[in-house]
Structure 1
C-alpha cells in the first residue's frame, strides 16, 4: 500500500442558529408564508433527492419550507476549490452544473459501529463516489457511478485506487483526481457520512429495495432473501455497501443507485416532509453529517430547487463508468478495475458539453437480420405479486444470454393474467425475439418506450425456452473492451421497486 499522506485538516465551520421563528416587524408589507401544496412539494423534491442522496432529500425540501437560511448555517463547509490552482477543465456551458457526491466511510461519529456493520477503522475514505450533472435546461439529471476500486492516476501520488485520493488529500485531491480523469469541471461538492445516511432513511420511515438473489454478509449484518424488502437506515446502509455478490463493487453501484431512487420515491410521499416539527427535528440531527463546498450557499440552494421543480423520476438517469477489466491485478497484488478509456472519454465529453449520455448504437452483423439475445436489453416486471417471481425471471433471461441490466421491479398491478412483452415501434423485432422464448406471451406496443423491451410477468408464466446458445469462447478468450465497456443507462423510475 502507498504510504498515507495527511491532507488538509478539515475545519467544519458551523454557526449555531436556532430554527427560524416569526420574522420581526418591519415597515415593509408582511407576506404570510403559505405552505406549498403537496403537488408543488413533489416537484421541488426532484433535484437534490435524486442527485445527491440524502442531501438532495434535504436541500430541495428546505427550499419548499423556507428554512434555507437556518439550514445553510447547520451544514458543515469546507474550502474545496480554494487550492486547486488553474490546471482545471474549462467550465461547461453556461447554466450546467456538475456536483461531486461523496459517501464517506468516516467512523468518527458513528456510535455503535458493530451494529451498523462498519467496524471502527481509523481514518476516513470515500466509500461511494458519483458525478451528478444538472443540465442547462433543468429538465434532466444524470448520475454517473464511479467505482471506488478504479485503478487511476492520483495527481502527485501515482497509480492507486481512486478512493485513495480522499485518504491522501481529502476533498481537494478527490476533486482534482476526478477532474483530471474526466475533464469535467466540478462546480460543487457534497459529502454524506454513515450517520447522515442512516438518519435520512429512518426519517423517511424506511425504503423498499429489491433483490434478484439472496445476500448474506455477516460483517454488514445483512441477511436478505431474494425479493422485495422494506429496510430501515441500518439495513439500507448494509445493502448499499456490501460487496458480497458476484459483481462485487459493480453490483454495489447498482444497489446504491436503487437506494437513491427509492429515497427520492419515498421522500415524495413521506409524512416527515409534511410535518414542520418532525422535519425540523430531522434536519437538526442529520445536517451535521453533511459537508458541502463554501459556494453551495443559501442563494444557490434556493435557485437550484426552484429551477428543478418540474423534474420527475423519469428525468433522473443513472449510469456508471464503462470498464475494461473488472479483475485487474495491481502491481501491489490486489484486485482493481480499469476503465474503457475510449467509451469513458465519449461519455464524459457528452457530460462536459451538457449533452445527454447516450448508449452506443448496436451495429448489425452482415447477413443477420434478426437480433440475438445478447443484443436485447430486457427489463423485468412482476405483475403477479408473487414474491421473488420477477427475480427468478431475471435470472432466467440472464442465463439465456439476454441483457438484464437492472433488478426486477413490481408492475403497477398484481393481477396480470397473460405475460406481456412491451416494446417501442422500432424495437418490434427484438420484442418478437423475446416473445419467442416465452410460451403464450402477448406483444404490446407502446410508443413511449425506448430501447429496452419490457417483460411483465403474468400468472401464465412458466419459465422460458432458452434460445440456442452462441458458440462458447475458447478457454483463453476474455471479454473484449467493447463487451465490458458499453454505456448503459436507467432512470430513477426504472430503479424503484414499485410505482
Structure 2
C-alpha cells in the first residue's frame, strides 16, 4: 500500500448610513462562518494600510477602543493587484484528547478577494469534498489526488514546510491558478464565541432538520438536536450545528448555503447592536484563537475603503454552483464520495469574483496548435486555459494532427505580450524557458501568442480524472 493509500485508509477510519455601515462590515462579517467578527476586523485592519497606505480612521464607538487595532510598521508601497485571503475554519474540537484524530481538517474553506483598484470584492466558498490534485505532503514522489479539505490535515501531519496552512494555500493556488496572499485559520471556539458575543443570530430555517449533530465547545459534549423550521434566534450551539449540517439531500452544497445564511444573519445582528457594541469582549476571547501570516499593521482606512465599494459589487459565490452544476458526484476507487470539478461551469464562477486584470489589459490573441498525434489535445489545452482566466474570444484552436510534431511544448510571443505568455506557461506547469520571444510585425488575424502543444504536456486535470476513473 502506497503512502497516499495508507493515509486515506487512516483518514477513513478516523472520520444610507446604514447602507454604508453594511458595506463597511460585509467583508468582515463574511468571515463569520469560519471564525469570528473580531478575527475579520483584525485581519482587515492589518491589510487595510496595504490598500490605502497613509489613511487614518477614527473608528466609531467602541471599535476605537479595541486593543490590538493600533498602528504598526509602515508598508513600503501601495499594492495595485488583487488581494486574496484564504480562510480556513478547522474542525478542531476542544476537550478532545491531543492526537486522537490527528491534525484537524478544514471544515470550511473560503477565499476572500478584494480588488483595491476597482473597489470590488467577493467570497468564494470551496466545497470541502472537492477532489483535486495536492502537492505531495511527504516531499517524496508525485502529487496526491484527494479531498481539498484534507490539505491542512496532511500538511500538519507530515510536517510540510509551513505546516497545514501552507499546504492548503498551495493546493488552492494550484487548483484555481490564483495567488493567495495571506491565510487566516480559526476554529469552532472562535465561531461559538462570536455568536455568543452577538447574543445569537436570527436565521430563517426553510425546512425542519432532525438529529443534527451539535457540539458544546465549553465542555466538549456532543449530542443531537432538532432544528425547527421558521425564523428563530440561534445560540452558538444551534448556529454551529446548523452551519455544519449536511445530512440532507443537498449535502455539502446545501451546507454552504446554510453557512451563507449565518453570515448574513450575523451582519444584520452586528449592525443592529450599533457598530458592534460588544467588540471589546471579543478581543479577550479571540486573543489566541487566530492563526495568520498577516504581519503588516497600520491604522486602517477601513471606512474609506468601504465607502468606495458599491454593495452590488460584493459577491458571495459557491464554487459548486447555485444548483450543484459545477461539480459531479463520483465514488473513487478508495470508496470515497467526492465532488469532481466540472471546469467549464466552475471556471466562470471563479472568474466572476477573481480575475486577472493585467491579462485583460494586454488583450493578447492566443492560438493553440496541436503538435502531437493525439486528436483533440489542443482543444483540451484551450479549455484548460479558459478555465484559468483566458477569454474564449481571445482564443483560436488548430487541433487537427498532421502538422509539425513537437516533443516539447513551446509558447511563442510575437507581439511583446510577455505577461500573457508567462501566465500561459504557469497555467500549463511549464518552465520559463518554454517561452520564446520572436518579435514580428503584427498581421490582422494572426496571434500575438502561439502555443504549440508537445507530447511532454500533462494537464493537471488528467490526474484527477485518472484517480476517479472518470473522463
**Displacement of 1:316 after TM fit?**
3.0
For residues 285 and 57 of structure 1, the distance between their equivalents in structure 2, rounded to whole angstroms, comes to 9
**Where in structure 2 are there 5+ consecutive unaligned residues?**
9-16, 46-56, 72-78, 137-142, 156-163, 215-223, 359-471
Q: Deviation per CA, 1:74-110: give whole Å up to 9, x if none.
A: xxxxxxxxxxxxxxxxxxx924221111111112xx2
CA contact (8 A) 1:57 1:264 kept: no
**Displacement of 1:122 after TM fit?**
4.3
CA contact (8 A) 2:328 2:342 kept: no
For residues 198 and 48 of structure 1, the distance between their equivalents in structure 2, rounded to whole angstroms, comes to 16
- Normalising by structure 2, what TM-score? 0.55
- Corresponding residue number in structure 2 for 1:177: 171
- Corresponding residue number in structure 2 for 1:225: 228
Q: How many residues end up aligned between the 2 structures?
A: 293
For residues 56 and 139 of structure 1, the distance between their equivalents in structure 2, rounded to whole angstroms, comes to 21
CA contact (8 A) 1:98 1:134 kept: yes
**Where in structure 1 are there 5+ consecutive unaligned residues?**
6-36, 74-92, 114-119, 356-499
2:126 to 132, 143, 146: 146
- Corresponding residue number in structure 2 for 1:282: 282
CA contact (8 A) 1:145 1:321 kept: yes
Q: Is the aligned partner of 1:252 residue 2:250?
A: no
Aligned-partner SS, 1:338: strand
CA 1:99 to 1:325, structure 2 compared with 1: closer, same or farther past 3 Å? closer
For residues 65 and 309 of structure 2, the distance between their equivalents in structure 1, rounded to whole angstroms, comes to 21
For residues 31 and 282 of structure 2, the distance between their equivalents in structure 1, rounded to whole angstroms, comes to 20
- Corresponding residue number in structure 1 for 2:365: none
CA contact (8 A) 1:42 1:268 kept: yes
CA contact (8 A) 1:71 1:283 kept: no
Aligned-partner SS, 2:254: helix
Which of structure 1's runs of 4+ aligned residues deviate more than 6 A?
37-40
CA RMSD in angstroms, aligned pairs only: 3.3
CA 1:138 to 1:254, structure 2 compared with 1: closer, same or farther past 3 Å? same
For 1:210-359, list aligned pairs within 5 A: 210-220=204-214, 221-270=224-273, 273-274=276-277, 278-295=278-295, 297-299=296-298, 302-304=300-302, 306-309=304-307, 311=309, 314-322=312-320, 323-350=325-352, 351-353=354-356
CA 1:270 to 1:3, structure 2 compared with 1: closer, same or farther past 3 Å? farther
Q: Deviation per CA, 1:171-203: give whole Å up to 9, x if none.
A: 000000000011111112112200000011110
For 1:380-391, list aligned pairs within 5 A: none
CA contact (8 A) 2:85 2:113 kept: yes
CA 1:309 to 1:324, structure 2 compared with 1: closer, same or farther past 3 Å? closer
CA contact (8 A) 1:206 1:230 kept: yes
**Displacement of 1:327 after TM fit?**
2.3
- Normalising by structure 1, what TM-score? 0.53
CA 1:39 to 1:328, structure 2 compared with 1: closer, same or farther past 3 Å? closer
CA contact (8 A) 2:212 2:241 kept: no
CA 1:137 to 1:264, structure 2 compared with 1: closer, same or farther past 3 Å? farther
**Displacement of 1:134 after TM fit?**
1.3
CA 1:215 to 1:44, structure 2 compared with 1: closer, same or farther past 3 Å? same
CA 1:58 to 1:176, structure 2 compared with 1: closer, same or farther past 3 Å? closer
CA 1:328 to 1:122, structure 2 compared with 1: closer, same or farther past 3 Å? same
